[in-house]
Amino acid sequence: MHTEEALDETGGATLLAVEQTEHAENSEAVEDLDAVESVEPVEYADAAEAADEVEEALPALTESILVVESPVLASARVLEVATFTADQLVADAQAQADTLVADAQAEADALRAASREDADRAAGELSRLRDEQTADLDRERAAALTGLAEQKATLEAQVEALRAQEHDYRSQLRHQLTEHLALLGDSGNGTPASVAS
């Protein structure tokens, strides 16, 4: 009856096997105790000799005496072992989770550091390229301004030359016209001479 209730409560064959094993062990323990009780008492000359013999027989007696457990105690023991195992598994799982989190954090930190280094390197490269381009543009602008200044000076010189040429041409033209008018005035009726003057 008690076995059926235990099976109903736990629903497992493990408890039944534990009870059967305990029953067999208990029977052997009772037989060993009967054998120990049937031993005739021996008288010793002194207490030291008796103590030595008890010490020699003690390991054999402790091996043959089994603790008798009730099904409730056996269930409690199985529950205790299961609880210990579950706690151990939870602790192992927590340790593994902590290790995984630490590894993931370390990997994330390494990736972040590598990304920051790449970004800094790219920013440095862009800054260097910008400085080079700015220097190139400054040189090109200076060269262009120098070229424009030279062209301006050349054009101004040409303008001055053209103005001087125009002045010379006007002067020559005026002189020629004046001579022609003077010739006409000398050879004609005198009107051009008065106009020329």
H helices of the chain, where? 2-10, 13-37, 47-64, 71-187, 191-196
> pLDDT exceeding 90 applies to what percent of the chain?
49
Give me the mean pLDDT over the 164-183 stretch.
91
Q: Is the pLDDT of residue 73 over 70?
A: yes
Q: Where are the domains of the chain?
A: 1-69
* Contact between 193 and 185 (Cβ < 8 Å): yes
Record the pTM.
Answer: 0.35
Q: Indicate the residue type of 2.
A: H
* Contact between 6 and 19 (Cβ < 8 Å): yes
Q: Is the pLDDT of residue 5 over 50?
A: no
- For residue 88, the model assigns a pLDDT of 94
Cα–Cα distance for residue pair 191/196, rounded to 1 Å: 9
Count other Cβ atoms within 10 Å, centred on residue 19: 19
Residues 6+ positions from 53 with CB-CB distance below 8 Å: 44
pLDDT, tens digit, 9 for 90 and up, residues 81-127: 999 999 999 999 999 999 999 999 999 999 999 999 999 999 999 99
∠ CA 13-16-19 to the nearest 5 degrees? 155
Question: What are φ and ψ of residue 145, in 5° steps?
Answer: -65, -40
**What mean pLDDT, rounded, does the chain reach?**
77
